[in-house]
Structures are given as C-alpha cells and as structure tokens.
Amino acid sequence: MDPDVLRRLHDILGPAGVVADPDLLRGYLSDWRGAYQGTAAVVARPADTGQVAEILGLCHRRGVAVVPQGGNTGLCGGAVPDRSGTQLVLSTNRLRRIRGVDRADQTITVEAGVVLQTVQEAADAAGLLFPLSLGAEGSCTIGGNLATNAGGTAVVRYGTMRELTLGVEVVLPDGRIWNGLRGLRKDNTGYDLKQLFIGSEGTLGVITAAVLALHPAIRSRATAWVALSDPQAAVDLIEIVRATAGSRLSGFELMSAQSVEFVLRHVSGTRDPFGSAHPWFALLELSDPMADAPLAQTLETVLGEAFERELLRDAVVADGSTQVAALWALREGISEAQNHEGPSLKHDITVPISVIPAFVAATDDALRATMPGIRIVTYGHVGDGNLHYNLSKPPGTDDEVFRSRAAELARVVYDSTAGFAGSISAEHGLGQSKREVIADYKPAVELDLMRGIKQLFDPAGLMNPGKVLPEG
C-alpha cells in the first residue's frame, strides 16, 4: 500500500484505528471457519461515521479498494479481502455505540459494529424484544446482519433483517454520508434506498448505523418435538399450526433423521426424546407477549388435530425450560456435530413451502446418483421454505476426494433448487463463493440491472470488489 495513503490513514484514525501488526492482522484476513484466506497491509478501525467518510473519501481519491468487515462470521467469504495485498479492510469493531432506545416508538438506533446479542440485551432491558436470532449472535454484528439481510429461526414470525430495519446511515463509496436514519413506519417519498444497501454485502457503501424495529417482549412460550414420516407431513402440520395459532408460531424447524443422528452421536448430553427411529423430526415453538397465555394447550390442540389426520408418528410437549433447552440443543447442535464426520459441504437454499416434499425427494435422488453413500444432512426453517442442504462424505471416503467434488455436488443442489423455482442463497448471501454460479440462475435482465446499480453507486469498483456480482 502507498506509504502516503498509510500516513493519511494514521492521521485520520490515530494509532488505535490502524492495525498493522501481523499477529493482530491475522484474525481479519480469514473468516471464522478458515475457509477463505486473504491478505492486507493494514486494517482501518474507524471510531465514528465521520472517520468512515474520511477513509472512503481517501480511498476513492487514491483508487484503494475497501473490504468492510463486521464480526467476520459469514459463510460465503463476503468480508475477506483478496490475496493481492492491495485492499484495505475496514472493520466496524469500534462503531459500537447504542445511540438510543425508544420504548414508545419500539425502536433502537445502533451503530454497525454492535454485536447482535448486545442489541438483543438492550431491547430486553427496555422490556422489548429484538427478534433476530441466529447461531453467530454472540459475535456477528448489526452491520453484517444488514449487509447480508440475516435470517435465522424467528423469520417465520418476524421476517428477516430487512423487515426489522426502519432506517440506515450509509457512507457512500465517494465518502459522502447519507443520513437515512428515519425511525418511521411509513414513508412514501420516493425510492426506498435503504433496501438497496440491505443485502448488498458491502458492495455499494458502508452502513454505519441503523434504526431497528423492536417488538413486545415474550412472556409465554411452548415448545414441542414431533416425529414425522416425511416432509409433506411438516408442510401439512405448519398449515394447521398457522390456521390455529397465527403469529404465535415463532419457530418451525425440520430435521432429517441423519441430522439428529449426528447430534446424538457427537454432542454430549443430548438424548433422543422418543427412543425409536423416525425418518424426520420437527421442533415447533409458540410464543406470546401475554403472561400465562395458554400456549401448551394451543399446542396440544394443534397436535391433536395433526394426530387425527395421521401426520404425526410421535410428539412431546416440553415441560419446563430444561426440556425446552434439551430440544433446541438437538437442532442447534447439527452444524457442530456434522464437523465430526469430515468436511461439511453447506448449501443454503429456499423453495416455495409447497414444493419442499418433491424438492427433497428429487434432490436426494440426484445426490445419491452422483455419489452413492453420501450422507445428506437436511434441516432448516420450514416456515420460510429455507433448508440447509448440507452434505457429509460416504463413510470411508477420503476428505480431499470428497472436497474435490464440492462444485459438482453444489451444482446438483442448485440445479434442483432452480428447477423448483427456488433461490440458491436463502440467508447466507453470495459473497465470493456464489458470485459466479449465480449468473447461471438469475435472469440476464436482473443481472444487467444489478450491474447498472453497482456502476451507479461505485463507478470505480472500489467497494468490496470480487463479491456478489459475477464477472463480465
């Protein structure tokens, strides 16, 4: 990096704002899983929006590419620099002020580097709920959640990050600040620009703060674990639950037997609630802001109807918080458990809910035809049509042999997804890992418009180059 640019960075940020020590740099140059690796001479750590604006202005004048980075917990390499060593990593980890909580408005205004869990806790302290919830919540940041339009388990009830965002503050690639921090529920005064930045993975500018919507705190909860013969039973069950319980449904997770088997094998302290084999499982959660809402009763009504319609093989309603935690552990342990079985090839897709049964059957068949003995770890958020279609090697296969076929296996999953009118990235984004493959699945006119928008916002192509948009 040009020594004059380095000097200017030091002038703007001071010693605490520039990381150049190779030992400290390391954590910024690869993602948390170590799946992507890049290099950079320095990391800039601005402490406020003004400093972000100065840095982007400088980089714009000097032609330096910028890679925004939050908690670095992404799964597609969207926050990792390339290997050229010429890119500047801009970490948001000093932008961590909570600017305000408003109980009447049910809003919280936070800076990009605030950790998701911190926002959840601040909402809780105000007697409210910030419902976004996902595995990485202890380290991922709001900026990253916005950049990837994060999802998670509560989307079925509260929507994705997009639906939870009322306003954003953004520094544009040329260093101008757009203050779009409106805390309004309705605002129809032209194009809704915040929507472009949400989900753009740092390619159009740097989101520095946001006004987020809060919800009433939850005071009652009920959880059930059910065994199912097939995914169709899950689709039918969710229809019954919704018709009866409406928006009380705050979680509906589906898991294949293979997924649960891995958890029981590798995660200590987990145990099978039924003790006999079943092909599929689902975890249902109802919740209500009303204290003492009769949710267990509602759940029993729903499950009773489902038994009558022969949708369930077995069911248990959790009794007390220990049992609730034990059931969620079966769901939340899948990702970790799968790591004990060799490399995990992860695919995060959505299809319309109604086609899940046909999609799963077709995709499983195609995968088994491609690689006999492959172990398919299917689980996900059925209420959103979102399945994590993860793969483990056939027993006895060499790790590297399995990994070498990753692209081929991904194609099988993506082709099937596209055949069922789905999306090849439900909640993980495109980053660097899916930026080329998306070109085969998106209409040409849509890619054209995306490229036009990129060109409009970032004509010099300095914001997170090599991410999201396919070459050409």
Least distance between a second copy and beta carbon 396 (Å):
35
61's CB contacts (< 8 A; 6+ apart) are none
Q: Which is nearer to a second copy, 93 or 165 (CB)?
A: 165
Give, to the nearest 10 degrees, the angle between helix 49-62 and helix 3-13. 170
Is residue 353 near a second copy by the rule CB under 8 A?
yes
Is residue 98 near a second copy by the rule CB under 8 A?
no
User: Which range of residues in 138-146, 215-223, 263-271, 336-344 is near a second copy by CB under 8 A?
Assistant: 215-223
Least distance between a second copy and beta carbon 418 (Å):
11
405 to 444, contacts with a second copy by CB under 8 A?
Answer: 421-430, 434, 438, 441-443
User: Which range of residues in 45-53, 110-118, 192-200, 328-336 is near a second copy by CB under 8 A?
Assistant: 192-200
What would the 3-class secondary structure string for the chain be? CCHHHHHHHHHHHCHHHEECCHHHHHHHHECCCCCCECCECCEECCCCHHHHHHHHHHHHHHCCCEEEECCCCCCCCCCCCCCCECCEEEECCCCCCEEEEECCCCEEEEECCCEHHHHHHHHHHCCEECCCECCCCCCCEHHHHHHCCCCECCHHHHCCHHHHEEEEEEECCCCCEEEECCCCCCCCCCCCCHHHHCCCCCCCCEEEEEEEECEECCCEEEEEEEEECCHHHHHHHHHHHHHHHHHHEEEEEEEEHHHHHHHHHHCCCCCCCCCCCCCEEEEEEEEECCCCCCHHHHHHHHHHHHHHCCCCCEEEECCCHHHHHHHHHHHHCHHHHHHCCCCCECCEEECCHHHHHHHHHHHHHHHHHHCCCCEEEEEEEHHHCEEEEEEECCCCCCHHHHHCCHHHHHHHHHHHHHHCCCECCCCCCCCCCCCCHHHHCCCHHHHHHHHHHHHHHCCCCCECCCCCCCCC
Is residue 472 near a second copy by the rule CB under 8 A?
no
Return the amino acid letter for 64.
Answer: V
Return the residue of 1, 97, 126, 178 that touches a second copy, per CB under 8 A.
Answer: 178
Return the residue of 49, 118, 223, 386 that touches a second copy, per CB under 8 A.
Answer: 386
11 to 30, contacts with a second copy by CB under 8 A?
Answer: none
User: Which range of residues in 52-60, 103-111, 259-267, 323-331 is near a second copy by CB under 8 A?
Assistant: 103-111
441 to 460, contacts with a second copy by CB under 8 A?
Answer: 441-443, 445-446, 449-450, 452-453, 456-457
Cα–Cα distance measured from residue 57 to residue 135, given in angstroms and rounded to the nearest whole number: 35
224 to 283, contacts with a second copy by CB under 8 A?
Answer: 235-236, 238-239, 242-247
115 to 174, contacts with a second copy by CB under 8 A?
Answer: 127, 148-149, 151, 155-156, 159-160, 162-163, 172
Return the residue of 198, 303, 324, 327 that touches a second copy, per CB under 8 A.
Answer: 198
Q: Which is nearer to a second copy, 272 or 300 (CB)?
A: 300
Return the residue of 1, 20, 35, 102 that touches a second copy, per CB under 8 A.
Answer: 102
Q: Which is nearer to a second copy, 21 or 448 (CB)?
A: 448
Is residue 200 near a second copy by the rule CB under 8 A?
yes
Is residue 469 near a second copy by the rule CB under 8 A?
yes
Least distance between a second copy and beta carbon 378 (Å):
16
CA 445 → CA 232, 346, 465, 472, distances in Å? 35, 28, 21, 14
Is residue 77 near a second copy by the rule CB under 8 A?
no
Return the residue of 195, 321, 339, 370 that touches a second copy, per CB under 8 A.
Answer: 195
Return the residue of 33, 86, 105, 418 that touches a second copy, per CB under 8 A.
Answer: 105
Residue pair 379/331 in contact (Cβ under 8 Å)? The answer is: yes
Least distance between a second copy and beta carbon 189 (Å):
5
Is residue 309 near a second copy by the rule CB under 8 A?
no
Is residue 196 near a second copy by the rule CB under 8 A?
yes
Cα–Cα distance measured from residue 25 to residue 152, given in angstroms and rounded to the nearest whole number: 30
How many residues sit in the footprint of a second copy (CB under 8 A)?
Answer: 92
Least distance between a second copy and beta carbon 261 (Å):
27
Is residue 398 near a second copy by the rule CB under 8 A?
no
| C-alpha gyration radius of the chain | 23
Q: Which is nearer to a second copy, 360 or 424 (CB)?
A: 424
Q: Which is nearer to a second copy, 11 or 192 (CB)?
A: 192
Return the residue of 180, 231, 342, 465 that touches a second copy, per CB under 8 A.
Answer: 180
Q: Which is nearer to a second copy, 67 or 128 (CB)?
A: 128
